[in-house]
Amino acid sequence: MQPSRDTHATLVDLLDRVLDKGLILNADLMIHVAGIPLLGVKLNAALAGMETMLKYGMWQDWDEAQRSIATEERRRTLRLAPQEMLHLSRIVR
């Protein structure tokens, strides 16, 4: 059996991955983005500063549990309001 990437069914696989996964820069960031109602939120304002991340070494101390909660939240939000999908964002300031 050969893996495939070209069918319509694999588009879901792609969206799942690109929108939900990938390298993450900051725990707080994800929690903020995922944990609050996304409608009309000014994302930039909610996000932690890069200096802060460096200072507290959050990249190194990344907490897997927090991440899975965030991912869960994010998915739930996506299901509830798919039209809001692209309000999800990860900007690091």
Which residues in this chain contact another protein in the complex, by CB under 8 A? 1-5, 9-11, 13-25, 43-44, 49-51, 54, 59-60, 62, 64, 67, 75, 83-93
CB of 10 to another protein, least distance (A): 4
Q: Are 39 and 87 in contact (CB under 8 A)?
A: yes
CB of 17 to another protein, least distance (A): 4
CB of 35 to another protein, least distance (A): 17
Long-range contacts (CB closer than 8 Å, 24 or more residues apart) made by 57-65: 58/26, 58/27, 58/28, 59/25, 59/26, 62/24, 62/27, 63/27
